[in-house]
Amino acid sequence: MNTERPFLQKTDDSRRLQRFTYIVTISLILGCNGLLFLGLWISDVDLEEALAKPEIYDPANGHCVGIQWEKVAGAEGLVKVCTDWIDFSDISGQTHSLPPGKVLAMGADGNLYFSGQSAENYRLIALMIFAIVVLASGMWLKRQLIAKYQGYLLSINHQST
């Protein structure tokens, strides 16, 4: 007769533990996602701009239709720059232009780049590290909470017998 009681109690405890696990999981999903969105908002990173390929003329992939002499950081004097081009990989056939307000710089390899891009990259890297820390902390916290609740259920069972 005594063998049936612990069996029922174990299944009841397992249901409690499973319910607690679901509650903790859903709470941490909502909480961690809230933290991630808060971090994204605070960092003020424009993901569409940060992850997009910078619009700059590539002679292998396009045809230049507009040239201007521009001041380029890292080069002396004015440099001939393609400001309007048709990109062969774009099936729409629209003319692409250099984004306004971006400062061009000449790299050590002689190619043109947008200056200030590295500051945006550092903010994006910091945001990714923050996301990894939030996710890892959430998983660690979930394991700790479930282990403590499981220990609590086991301590109740030993006290009642």
Give the DSSP letter string of 15-84: HHHHHHHHHHHHHHHHHHHHHHHHHHHHHT--HHHHHSPP----TTTEEEEEEEEEE-BTSSSEEEEEEE
Is residue 142 pLDDT above 90, yes or no?
yes
pTM: 0.61
Task: Tell me the per-residue pLDDT of 16-51, one tens digit each, with 9 for 90 and over.
Answer: 999 999 999 999 999 999 999 999 999 888 777 777
Instruction: Evaluate if residue 83 carries a pLDDT over 70.
Output: yes
Which pLDDT score, from 0 to 100, does residue 14 have?
A: 86
**pLDDT over 90 (residue 137):** yes
Residue 134: per-residue pLDDT? 96
Domain boundaries, the chain: 4-48+120-160, 52-114
Q: Is the pLDDT of residue 1 over 50?
A: no
